[in-house]
Structure 1
Amino acid sequence: MVSKLNSPEVLHFLIIVSVVLISARILGEICRKFKQPVVVGEILAGIIIGPSLLGSVFPDLFKDIFLSEPRAYGAFDGLANLGVILLMFVAGIEVDLKQIRRQGKQAASISLMGIAFPFALGFTAIWFFHDYIFPVASTDRLIPSLFFGTALSITALSVIVKVLIDLNIIKTKVGGLVITAAMVDDFLGWILFSIIIKMMDPTKSDGSATSIAVVLAFALFMVTIGRWAIDKLLWLAKKYISGSGGMITVSCCLCFLGAVFTEYLGIRGVFGAFLMGIAVGDSKHFSDSTQNVLQQFVVYIISPLFFASVGLRVNFATHFDLTVVSIILGIACIAKIVGAGIGARASGLKKNESLAVAFGMNARGSQEIVLGMVALQVKIIDERIFVGLVVMTMVTILIAGPLMKYYLKLHLENSKEQNAEVDIPVSSRIVEFNDAVKPASV
């Protein structure tokens, strides 16, 4: 017989959820007021109410809230994991396959260089400095090296969208290229990470070849036949179930089924939810209004519980290692900025435009936190490295907007100076400027 939570455990569960959600939303709104991504405040909230601050200053209070009823915290942990699955589902919905196909050539240059260079540098750095980063003796260098290469190569689509909206350039040609390249980054990055998780499955004796085949086959199925089947299913839901509530129910059920399937395959459930989100978002029957309702619920209610739980799981004060943080931050920024910058130049953008794109692509976010959390759970990394990844994520988020704005301003000033020097006719300058900032094709 299943054991239910007793009354004190239910009480503590509600207290934990209330404390975490209130703290996360308050800090998130403070960050929003200062024009910073909300996710930064949500993570800071977890650090403040977690073992790093509250647990150190008021250990008895921290224990009474979070540790006195272990099963209550276990229930909260389950809710937080549900939140990250729904978050990755929503992230998948934002991936526009049509836009990727339309802007494929230019975006491919930015995305592939933005993935290849960080992956190569991250992999090489950990391969040769494995024993320095991982003080615990280990003969396995391949999995940690693959993880770091992947973690440093992914860009945060949701953060980039927020930055572009703040700068009012989301509908320009440059904004469209950055968003499309970030979509490709997300898709390829999650495939790579799922392959790594599959390779770690000790029950499989046939190694990485089968792992790669399983992940690629499932991803290919979901963006082809699976996408078509999901579209037909959503058509039936729209026809026979009234209101957006019914469509949200069906889409959430599909999200959980995708997560169940990939978890059963030995891949993490978040990957199945992400792929299912791509298929659902591609359907013409899944309306923008329905997506907005689902996104509001996930972003403002469920996902803050997950990001705040990041600070509850690890003591950032105890596990903060300046050397590890500096190495991770340095490699991540140099690799992504150089790689994406080269790709942007190769796609035809000018120098300052390319630097603006590079700093935009350098922004990390929810995907890196999710990857780090999964890697911590399956013991690819330890707490010090996880803290380094979280700090790297927050720093790259904070610098993305100001540096993009700076280099775009330089680009505009240089364009004006060049036009003035060669005395281009006014009509020609207007045409050139409109071409530079014209909205991406839709």
Structure 2
Amino acid sequence: MISKLNSTEVLYFLIIVSIVLIAARLLGEICRKFKQPPVVGEILAGIIIGPSLLGSAFPDLFKEVFIANPRAYGAFDGLANIGVIMLMFIAGAEVDLKQIRAQGKQAASISFMGIAFPFALGFLCIWFFHDYIFNVPSTERLIPALFFGTALSITALSVIVKILLDLDIIRTKIGGLVITASMIDDFLGWILFSIIIQLMNAKGETASYYSIGMVLVFVGFMITIGKWLVNQILAFVDKNLGGPASILTAAMCLCMLGAVCTEYLGIRGIFGAFMMGIACGDSKHFSHSIQNLFQHFIVSVIAPLFFASVGLRVNFVANFDLSVVLIILGISCVAKIVGAGIGSRMGGLNKNESLAIAFGMNARGSQEIVLGMAALQAGIIDERIFVGLVVMTMVTILVAGPLMKFYLEKDLKEKELPDTEDEVVIMIDKPEIIMSKN
């Protein structure tokens, strides 16, 4: 017999959804007013109404709303998980394979160094200082070290797009390079994370090779045959059913099928949704107008439930460890800025342009939160590390825009300065010009 929610549980489910959505959207819009990504406000909303603040100040009220009916909260948790699956589908749709190929050479050096340097530094820090950071002696350091390196190497594509739009440089050379490099980062980062999850679930060396192979085969299938199949499906829907609503429905169904496929294979469902998003985004039938319609619904209604739920799952006050936060923040910023900066210089950009790109690439966002939550649920990291990752994400979001603007303005001033100096030299070389003007 199928068990369903009773009337009281449905009531509490609706109460939870209403409270979380209102708080998340309200604080998200406040952040938008201050030209910050709404995800910052949505996470803060969860911290405020979660165990960190509301649970500490009014424990009875918090228990009555969120804990007293576990099945009601379980239903909300399921809805939040659907939200993150759809969010990763949208993130995948933003990865433009054609743009990667067009700007691949210059962006590749930025992306490669922006991934390789943070990955290496994060891996080595956990490998040698695992017991200090985790506060738990362990001989198994490979998986946590791989995760930490991956978490530090991913750039948040959705966040950087918002920053570039705010600075009005999204269509410039710098904007294009940052977006393309971020796409490559996202693509490679999620492949790495899926391999890590597979390694953690694998038993023995043979199983590990099989798991890695399965991830790579799935990726290869989705960017070749799978992409072609998705395009054929969307073409059929467009021709025989027609209308944006039909394409939107087909895209949502494909998103869920991608998540089902990877969950069945033992890979996280969010990775399947991400890869399906890449395949759909590459199809001309999944037009920008339909993507925008889908994105507005996900970003405004469904995704905030997930980001607010982050604050509901973890007590940020009880698990806040300043030393861990500073270590994660320091390592992540130094690694990404140095790595992306070196990659930019290798790509032929000057010092100020390289620093602007480096601080842009340093912006983390929804992908890090999703990845951190998955790692927390998988037991790779503990609550202290997760809190450190969330704080790092929010700090890098807040500083990325102002620092990009500072270095781009500095670069513009320095490019104008030589022209002025040249004019002075000419005037000194030809004093008769000065005399004639007097």
Structure 2 length as normaliser, TM-score? 0.96
- Structure-1 residue corresponding to 2:125: 125
The aligned runs of 1:225-240 (5 Å cut-off) are: 225-240=225-240
- Structure-2 residue corresponding to 1:374: 374
SS in structure 2 at match of 1:283:
coil
- Structure-1 residue corresponding to 2:297: 297
- Structure-1 residue corresponding to 2:314: 314
> Using the alignment, how far apart are the partners of 2:363 and 2:136 within structure 1?
31
The aligned runs of 1:342-353 (5 Å cut-off) are: 342-353=342-353
> Using the alignment, how far apart are the partners of 2:422 and 2:204 within structure 1?
66
> Using the alignment, how far apart are the partners of 2:340 and 2:68 within structure 1?
48
Q: Is the 8 A contact 2:202 2:211 kept in 1?
A: no
> Using the alignment, how far apart are the partners of 1:49 and 1:408 within structure 2?
39
- Structure-2 residue corresponding to 1:112: 112
Deviations 1:134-192 (A, max 9, x none): 22232210000000000000000000000000000000011000000000000000000
Give the C-alpha shift of residue 238 in structure 1. 0.4
Task: Out of 415-424 and 377-386, give the one that drifted further.
Answer: 415-424
Give the C-alpha shift of residue 64 in structure 1. 1.2
SS in structure 1 at match of 2:140:
coil
- Structure-1 residue corresponding to 2:150: 150
> Using the alignment, how far apart are the partners of 1:66 and 1:241 within structure 2?
43
SS in structure 2 at match of 1:319:
coil
> Using the alignment, how far apart are the partners of 1:173 and 1:86 within structure 2?
30
> Using the alignment, how far apart are the partners of 1:22 and 1:225 within structure 2?
42
> What fraction of aligned residue pairs are identical, expressed as a percent?
73
Give the C-alpha shift of residue 423 in structure 1. 4.5
- Structure-2 residue corresponding to 1:141: 141
Runs of 4+ in 1 over 3 A off after TM superposition: 202-205
SS in structure 2 at match of 1:23:
helix
Tell me the amino acid that sits aligned with residue 348 of structure 2.
Answer: G
- Structure-2 residue corresponding to 1:87: 87
Which residues of structure 1 form unaligned runs of 5+? Answer: 425-442
- Structure-1 residue corresponding to 2:383: 383
Deviations 1:272-325 (A, max 9, x none): 000000000000111111111110110000000000000000000000000000
> Using the alignment, how far apart are the partners of 1:345 and 1:418 within structure 2?
21
- Structure-2 residue corresponding to 1:195: 195
The aligned runs of 1:54-69 (5 Å cut-off) are: 54-69=54-69
- For the pair 1:50 / 2:50, whether they are aligned, the reply is yes
- Structure-1 residue corresponding to 2:269: 269
> Using the alignment, how far apart are the partners of 2:220 and 2:422 within structure 1?
51
Q: Is the 8 A contact 2:130 2:137 kept in 1?
A: no
Give the C-alpha shift of residue 68 in structure 1. 1.2
Tell me the amino acid that sits aligned with residue 216 of structure 1.
Answer: L
Tell me the amino acid that sits aligned with residue 207 of structure 1.
Answer: A
> Using the alignment, how far apart are the partners of 1:228 and 1:330 within structure 2?
43
> Using the alignment, how far apart are the partners of 1:191 and 1:423 within structure 2?
54
Tell me the amino acid that sits aligned with residue 251 of structure 1.
Answer: A
Which residues of structure 2 form unaligned runs of 5+? Answer: 425-438
Tell me the amino acid that sits aligned with residue 166 of structure 2.
Answer: D
- Structure-2 residue corresponding to 1:14: 14
Q: Is the 8 A contact 2:45 2:308 kept in 1?
A: yes
> Using the alignment, how far apart are the partners of 2:418 and 2:352 within structure 1?
14
Give the C-alpha shift of residue 202 in structure 1. 4.1
Give the C-alpha shift of residue 240 in structure 1. 1.3
The aligned runs of 1:292-441 (5 Å cut-off) are: 292-423=292-423
Q: Is the 8 A contact 2:89 2:275 kept in 1?
A: yes
SS in structure 1 at match of 2:139:
coil
Give the C-alpha shift of residue 203 in structure 1. 5.2
> Using the alignment, how far apart are the partners of 1:422 and 1:157 within structure 2?
41
Tell me the amino acid that sits aligned with residue 179 of structure 2.
Answer: I
> Using the alignment, how far apart are the partners of 2:422 and 2:356 within structure 1?
25
Deviations 1:377-436 (A, max 9, x none): 000000000000000000000000000000000000000002222349xxxxxxxxxxxx
Give the C-alpha shift of residue 116 in structure 1. 0.2
SS in structure 2 at match of 1:317:
coil
> Using the alignment, how far apart are the partners of 1:327 and 1:405 within structure 2?
26
SS in structure 2 at match of 1:229:
helix
> Using the alignment, how far apart are the partners of 1:158 and 1:117 within structure 2?
22
- Structure-2 residue corresponding to 1:246: 246
Q: Is the 8 A contact 2:202 2:208 kept in 1?
A: no
Tell me the amino acid that sits aligned with residue 338 of structure 2.
Answer: V
Deviations 1:15-34 (A, max 9, x none): 00000000000000000001
Tell me the amino acid that sits aligned with residue 388 of structure 2.
Answer: G
> Using the alignment, how far apart are the partners of 1:197 and 1:268 within structure 2?
8
Give the C-alpha shift of residue 209 in structure 1. 1.5
> Using the alignment, how far apart are the partners of 2:81 and 2:178 within structure 1?
29
Tell me the amino acid that sits aligned with residue 215 of structure 1.
Answer: V
Query: How many residues align structurally?
Result: 424
Q: Is the 8 A contact 2:156 2:182 kept in 1?
A: yes
Deviations 1:321-346 (A, max 9, x none): 00000000000000000000000011
- Structure-2 residue corresponding to 1:285: 285
**Cα 1:210/1:422, change in 2 over 3 Å:** farther
Deviations 1:31-57 (A, max 9, x none): 000111100000000000000000000
**Cα 1:261/1:204, change in 2 over 3 Å:** farther
- Structure-2 residue corresponding to 1:161: 161
SS in structure 2 at match of 1:339:
helix
> Using the alignment, how far apart are the partners of 1:416 and 1:186 within structure 2?
36
Q: Is the 8 A contact 2:97 2:282 kept in 1?
A: yes
Give the C-alpha shift of residue 242 in structure 1. 2.9
Deviations 1:211-231 (A, max 9, x none): 221111110110111101111
Task: Out of 414-423 and 33-42, give the one that drifted further.
Answer: 414-423
